[in-house]
């Protein structure tokens, strides 16, 4: 979620650059199960989408 929001603020493709290595590192280091990583990425994407949608609505007013 942070990578999506920072990417939006800076205009850089941060999610495409930061998210895959983060996901892979969690698996390689053995600190999370694959389902944990998938659920976390889905939750992060969903929360970023909600924040971006709220930002657009507030920006219209």
pLDDT, tens digit, 9 for 90 and up, residues 3-54: 888 888 898 988 889 889 999 999 999 999 999 999 999 998 899 889 889 9
The model's confidence at residue 61, banded by pLDDT at 50, 70 and 90, is low
Single pTM value for the model: 0.76
Q: What is the DSSP string of the chain?
A: -HHHHHHHHH-S-HHHHHHHHHHHHHHHTTSS-HHHHHHHHHHHHHHHHHHHHHHHHHHH-
| Encoded tokens for 21 | 């290595």
| Encoded tokens for 56 | 């657009």
């Amino acid at each position: 979620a942070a990578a999506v929001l920072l990417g939006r603020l800076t205009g850089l493709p941060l999610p495409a650059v930061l998210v895959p290595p983060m996901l892979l590192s969690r698996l390689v280091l053995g600190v999370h199960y694959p389902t944990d990583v998938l659920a976390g990425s889905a939750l992060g994407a969903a929360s970023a989408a909600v924040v971006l949608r709220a930002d657009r609505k507030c920006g219209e007013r």
